[in-house]
Amino acid sequence: MDTSHNTVKKHPPAAYALHRQMVAVQRTMSAATVEESVRASRWANAWYQVVQRKLDQIQQAPRYLH
């Protein structure tokens, strides 16, 4: 069975988290109800915290000179 069309491109964790944050912000702005907007806003905030944590990890990671 050929599953080559089902391959998923892996993104670095920070890029993935940033993308999910962007999607959550878009959902917040396009929400049809207040409840939906609040829920999406909470997700956007949670993903923002993940992005910040990942960026802090990248910044603190040792850099090797080649």
| pLDDT, tens digit, 9 for 90 and up, residues 6-22 | 555 677 778 898 899 99
Mean pLDDT of 42-65: 87
**Is 60 exceeded by the pLDDT of residue 60?**
yes
Global model pTM greater than 0.75: no
Percent of the chain with pLDDT over 90: 53
Which of 16, 27, 25 is CA-nearest to residue 55? 16
Torsion of CA 42, 11, 51, 64, to 10 degrees: 170
- Structure confidence at residue 45 (pLDDT): 95
